[in-house]
Amino acid sequence: MSEPRLRAKELDAADRLAAKRTEFVLDADGGESGGDAVYLDGNSLGALPVTVPGRVEDVVRRQWGELRIRSWTESGWWTAPERIGDRIAPLVGAAAGQIVVGDSTSVNVFKAVVGAVRLARLTGGAAGPARDEIVVDATTFPTDGYIAESAARMTGCALRPVPPSEVPGALGDRTAAVLLNHVDYRTGRLHDLPALTAAVHAAGAYVVWDLCHSAGALPVGLDEHGVDLAVGCTYKYLNGGPGSPAYLYVRAELQDRFDSPLPGWNSHAEPFGMRPEYAPAPGALRGRVGTPDILSLLALEAALDVWDDGVTVEAVRAKSLALTDFFLECVETYVPEGRVECVTPRAHRERGSQIALRCRDAGDVMRRLIERGVVGDFRHPDVLRFGFTPLYVGFADTERAARVLAEVLAEVPAEVPAEAGADGEA
């Protein structure tokens, strides 16, 4: 047995989170390599927690099938958005009463960015600066950029794309809102949330953080660092299921001034009053819009049970860093030098919970990996992404993924055209 395989066995034996793996549905791959499938795509869609199917069946058969309309009160449907928000809150470093769950990430980004612009203009007053600029992470996931551009047009702001490292120098007295990603979806780079939040506040602006690739994988510290607004999906490291509802965080001190651009009857102070005039509900409820998606919400609630037995984000983060360190060591051991290039930062303070490798024919390489039971994903034009979810990924998985990667690369021509990768983003 090779040294990396022996080391993986030792690391798995010492892993305090190893038992969590049994709480997820992880089937054998049936592929050419044999053994269990190695699922390294939790940064796109988390694995299914074993408790979810039974809980969803109860929601469908009993709560909906038998209780029907009574379930809005008797089964707690009506309060689910804020109840589940309070369960997510500790995972992102927030106190209760600041997160509401519902709608998609895109819808919540829109609410947060427009709300941030309105807060900036309300704070500035007539005598203050115009606050007519929105700064957006230039490397952001495309949808965030689309939403920011639309929000800029609707609020009469200019949109300014800026790389996160250059944001402090780009801020000024015209900046209203800044939309940033905590972890870059393509490279896995972790941005400095405390420092960037402080820089935005020093400029008199409001910050919106997208936590899609960090919530459930690493400490965030929303309250500790004074973040204004934040959004995130729940189907990656929170394992809520495909298309599970996203969440919106509004800092408690801002809630009475948060003016959502999407007021709905669910966020009305008297939702059943059916009044023609809108009056916003107090607290995080202002982030609600329409009728909640109960089936997805309650599937997410069941998925969050995996955190209920004392698992901490800090423990998850420690294992995440150990897994990604070990993966890079195994890649360096198994893969000939020059065949791949790591575009994820090596420094722990700059790394999320994924490793991104650039290589030639990345799409074909990932297809071959999946055929052999190692599931990651590919980002155009030349990036292989491997997401490490510490609750169900082990060190043997990690070693096998690197070993199979080396086998696949041995089948792919090594020559790289001079122009390869020149037009691709990291």
Cis peptide before 292 (omega within 30 of 0): no
274 CB burial (10 A radius; 0-12, 13-18, 19+)? exposed
When pLDDT is averaged across residues 254-275 and rounded to a whole number, the result is 97
Distance, CA of 387 to CA of 217 (rounded, Å): 10
Site of tokens 């409001």? 206
Give 266-309 pLDDT, tens digit per residue.
999 999 999 999 999 999 999 999 999 999 999 999 999 999 99
- Please, which residues bridge with residue 356 across strands? 385
Q: What is the pTM of this model?
A: 0.94
pLDDT score recorded for residue 413: 79
E strand intervals along 81-196: 99-101, 133-137, 158-162, 175-181
Catalytic residue among 24, 39, 185, 235: 235
CB 354 within 8 A of CB 386: yes
Position 412 scores a pLDDT of: 85
List the single range of 245-254, 317-326, 416-425 with lowest mean pLDDT: 416-425
Which candidate in 160, 385, 400, 403 is catalytic? 385
> Has 256 been annotated as catalytic?
no
User: Which range (219-228, 306-315, 406-415) has the least confidence?
Assistant: 406-415
168 close to 207: Cβ distance less than 8 angstroms: no
Instruction: Give the up-direction half-sphere exposure of residue 72: CA atoms within 13 A in the CB hemisphere.
Output: 6
Hunting for tokens 């510490």 — which residue is that?
390
pLDDT (0 to 100) of residue 415: 59
Q: Tens digit of pLDDT for each residue in 409-419? A: 999 877 544 34
Q: Is 385 a catalytic residue?
A: yes
Question: Distance between CA atoms of 410 and 180, rounded to whole angstroms?
Answer: 39
Residue 392 known to be catalytic:
no
Yes or no: say if 356 and 380 are a contact pair by the CB < 8 Å rule: no
- What is the distance between the alpha carbons of residues 303 and 255, in angstroms, rounded to a whole number? 28
Residue 319 known to be catalytic: no
pLDDT for 125 equals 66
The catalytic position among 24, 39, 110, 141 is 141
d(CA 395, CA 369): 18
The yes-or-no verdict on residue 66 having pLDDT over 50 is: yes
- At 3 the pLDDT is 94
DSSP H helices, 59-95, are: 71-74, 80-88
Indicate the pLDDT class of residue 29, thresholds 50, 70 and 90: very low
Confidence of residue 27 (pLDDT cuts 50, 70, 90): confident
pLDDT per position as a tens digit, 395-405 = 999 999 999 99
> Residue 102, by phi and psi: left (phi above 0), alpha (psi -120 to 50) or beta?
left
At 134-189, the pLDDT tens digits run: 999 999 999 999 999 999 999 999 999 999 999 999 999 999 999 999 999 999 99
What's the burial of 371, exposed, middle or buried (CB within 10 Å: 0-12/13-18/19+)? Answer: middle
Q: In terms of DSSP bridges, do strands 247-250 and 341-342 run parallel, antiparallel, or are they unpaired?
A: unpaired
Q: Is the pLDDT of residue 128 over 80?
A: no
Q: At 282, which helix (H) or strand (E)?
A: none
* 235 assigned to active site: yes
Q: What is the mean pLDDT of residues 221-238?
A: 98
- pLDDT at residue 328, rounded to an integer: 98
Give the active site residue among 103, 144, 210, 382.
210
Question: Which is catalytic among the residues 236, 339, 351, 403?
Answer: 236
